[in-house]
Amino acid sequence: VAALVWSYDTNKSAAEIRAILEQSAQDLGTPGRDDAYGHGLVRADRARDMMDGFTMPPTESPTPAPPCDDDPEDWFDSDGSDYDCAWYAQGSNCVTYGDGYENFGKTANEACCACGGGKAPGDGTPTEPPTEPPTEPPT
């Protein structure tokens, strides 16, 4: 499909053709890009219609994810230590298996940052009490 769309205007770069295909796709599933349908159904007719006057939008830096710690640290599922947060972070494992195989009272979707779980660093951890106040007032 990319070659067909490019054939309408061979002066377009690969990045421009990709952007046109993404923006002209018919959205399916969850609105916007998602892991199940990507950008949606490729529509060559819509892409052709977008070719005239298309310019690349300015590139935006992605918003960094907030800091996160797996909770509990070194969590793995009930099938054993091979199935830890790093394993769940691969492919669609969070979506496919993340709500099952509870261990340590949590599923991967609750325990692993890669699956949308985890906790903010320091969240829920008691802080050290302040040092003892002076026994005598300052002079």
CB 121 within 8 A of CB 70: no
Tokens of 63: 């918003």
What residues contact 13, with CB distance under 8 A and at least 6 apart? none
Write out the chain's pLDDT in tens, 139 residues. 999 988 988 988 898 899 889 888 898 888 888 888 888 899 888 888 888 776 656 666 666 767 899 999 999 999 999 999 999 999 889 999 999 999 999 999 999 999 999 988 765 544 455 556 556 666 6
At 130 the pLDDT is 53
At 137 the pLDDT is 64
What residues contact 15, with CB distance under 8 A and at least 6 apart? 56
**Could you tell me how far CA 126 lies from the centroid of its own chain?**
29
CB 108 within 8 A of CB 94: yes
The pTM score is: 0.44
Q: Which helix (H) or strand (E) holds 4?
A: helix 2-8
CB 71 within 8 A of CB 119: yes
Q: How many residues does the chain have?
A: 139
Evaluated on CA atoms 22, 23, 27, 30, the torsion sign reads positive
